[in-house]
Amino acid sequence: DVKVTQSSRYLVKRTGEKVFLECVQDMDHENMFWYRQDPGLGLRLIYFSYDVKMKEKGDIPEGYSVSREKKERFSLILESASTNQTSMYLCASSPSGHGGWTEAFFGQGTRLTVV
């Protein structure tokens, strides 16, 4: 079974703090993704990565950065947390395949509250 593990289920941080959300996958997948999930908005792509040390901006990258130093690990960084970043954050991974990739596997999510 593919496993995508996010380091925390729940986090409470103060405005202005630097926040690290960690994600690890155990299936040697090339692609990794960070989404945020908000009621009525679905999942929105923040950043993604096709390989180690590379990153691409998604639809809502402002206020976030990412790091991928190892293939299995993809970190999301909130440089200075703000209350509008209170959300559920989902990490996903997928293999590369012919003509695209097969499916994305998701972690359990991290519910971040910024106070």
Partner 1 sequence: AQSVSQHNHHVILSEAASLELGCNYSYGGTVNLFWYVQYPGQHLQLLLKYFSGDPLVKGIKGFEAEFIKSKFSFNLRKPSVQWSDTAEYFCAVEGHTGRRALTFGSGTRLQVQP
85 or 106: whose CB is closer to partner 1? 106
Among residues 16, 80, 103, 115, the one that binds partner 1 under rule CB under 8 A:
103
- How many other C-beta atoms are found inside a 10 Å radius of the C-beta of residue 24? 18
Among residues 10, 14, 42, 84, the one that binds partner 1 under rule CB under 8 A:
42
Interface of this chain with partner 1, residues 19 to 38, rule: CB under 8 A: 31, 33, 35
Residue 46 contacts residue 88 (beta carbons within 8 Å): no
Is 111 near partner 1 (CB under 8 A)?
no
Q: Which chain residues interact with partner 1 by CB under 8 A?
A: 4, 31, 33, 35, 40-45, 48, 50, 56, 58-59, 90, 92, 99-104, 106-109
